């Protein structure tokens, strides 16, 4: 089931963008096999496997790829794959004997997906880094934050997940589509700096035109404007308003019982701080739920600021089925939606289980031979 049904992908275990890319593909029907390390990584987040939600939707197999027999098994799996995901530093898979040249020589139609922070080449290619570093280098971090305040880390959404996982997933699907026509695979180099830079495309245009400034917290969509802001309510909860268009701005003021003539023209930037103070005083007169009763569902471009727990309980998200529950854990549902080839509900994150993991890849005799040879480094991968 799902639009990617029939696509096989091998995932070499990593953190951040690689697992999320694999989850996205598995959510939409691809058969993804995760090759885990026999020992845990050094991320340092102690938790049960079932809470590592990016690992849902696929089976896991623990292999010590430094051993020749385990590497040979991995190559046999790659022979049968349409795509591969790896997120190591440049050169690591080559040193393991699992680099693009070795894999494409055996499977010429393979699409070999690589995701790194800095890219496969360049002065920083071998340097360690994380999301915050990558968004800093391409101007995204500098633009996020309030006026007079330091840049604000926006979780690790931009580089790891938008500029990395989504960028790689898009590249892999494009490569697999092309390979279906040409019969030839290729390497997809998804650098998080490239992906995040692409996300900044519209802002380059706004800066170039003079519409936006490099000084953060002074622009219409970075907390500079009163009509694109979050406001604290009487109960110390928060609401958001994004009434950019004139008609939506007029609707917001009408519902706040503010005379438009008592405020300066909407786009006069020098008057935004005073207008923001005016709206802030109004929003402090009611609780968040009272504002929801008045503004939700209108053209005032309004939404309450919710926690993840509250988001799953919100009536709109419940009606949409935006969240599902797997193994007792509420989490976002697969997406986007498809009218005809809807995917099945994903399975929860799995421990290493050689028979289950390899069932769709090798015949029983091959699996039994691998077990006899002691290839499976542990029957149940530790966290």
Which amino acids are annotated catalytic? 130, 160
Contact (CB, 8 A) for 78 and 105:
no
Among the residues of 80-209, which ranges form H helices?
92-96, 100-106, 131-137, 140-143, 167-182, 192-199, 201-209
Closest residue by Cα to residue 7 from 138, 133, 172, 126: 172
> What's the CA gap between 225 and 222, in Å, rounded?
8
- Over its C-alpha atoms, the chain yields an Rg (Å, rounded) of 25
Residue 331 neighbours by CB distance under 10 Å: 17
Tokens read off for 144: 């996020």
> What's the CA gap between 283 and 302, in Å, rounded?
12
Q: Are strands 329-332 and 323-326 parallel, antiparallel or unpaired?
A: antiparallel
The values of phi and psi at residue 19, to 5°, are -60, -40
> What's the CA gap between 98 and 69, in Å, rounded?
13
């Amino acid at each position: 089931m799902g639009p990617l049904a029939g696509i096989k992908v091998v995932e070499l275990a990593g953190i951040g963008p690689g697992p999320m890319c694999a989850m996205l593909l598995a959510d939409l029907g691809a058969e993804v096999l995760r090759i885990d390390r026999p020992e845990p990584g050094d991320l340092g987040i102690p938790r049960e496997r079932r809470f590592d939600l990016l690992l849902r939707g696929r089976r896991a197999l623990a292999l010590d790829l430094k051993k020749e027999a385990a590497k040979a098994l991995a190559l046999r799996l790659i022979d049968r794959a349409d795509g591969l995901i790896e997120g190591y530093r440049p050169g690591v898979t080559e040193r393991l004997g699992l680099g693009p040249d070795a894999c494409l020589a055996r499977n010429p139609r393979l699409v070999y997906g690589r995701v790194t922070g800095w890219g496969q080449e360049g002065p920083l290619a071998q340097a360690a880094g994380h999301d915050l570093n990558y968004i800093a280098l391409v101007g995204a971090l500098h633009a996020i934050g309030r006026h007079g305040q330091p840049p604000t880390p926006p979780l690790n959404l931009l580089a790891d997940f938008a500029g990395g996982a989504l960028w790689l997933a898009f590249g892999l699907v494009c490569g697999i589509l092309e390979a279906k026509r040409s019969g030839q695979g290729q390497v997809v180099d998804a650098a998080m700096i490239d992906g995040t830079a692409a996300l900044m495309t519209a802002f380059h245009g706004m800066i170039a035109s003079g519409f936006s400034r490099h000084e953060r917290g002074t622009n219409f969509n970075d907390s500079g404007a009163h009509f694109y802001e979050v406001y604290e309510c009487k109960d110390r909860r928060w609401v958001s308003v994004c009434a950019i268009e004139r008609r939506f701005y007029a609707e917001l003021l009408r519902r706040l019982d503010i005379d438009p003539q008592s405020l300066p023209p909407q786009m006069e930037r020098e008057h935004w701080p005073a207008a923001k103070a005016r709206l802030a005083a109004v929003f402090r007169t009611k609780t968040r739920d009272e504002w929801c009763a008045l503004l939700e569902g209108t053209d005032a471009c309004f939404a309450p600021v919710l926690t993840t727990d509250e988001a799953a309980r919100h009536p709109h998200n419940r009606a949409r089925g935006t969240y599902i529950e797997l193994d007792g854990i509420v989490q976002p549902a697969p997406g986007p939606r498809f009218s005809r080839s809807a995917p099945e509900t994903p399975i929860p994150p799995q421990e290493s289980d050689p028979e289950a993991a390899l069932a769709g890849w090798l015949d029983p005799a091959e699996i039994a031979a691998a077990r006899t040879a002691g290839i499976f480094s542990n029957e149940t991968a530790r966290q």
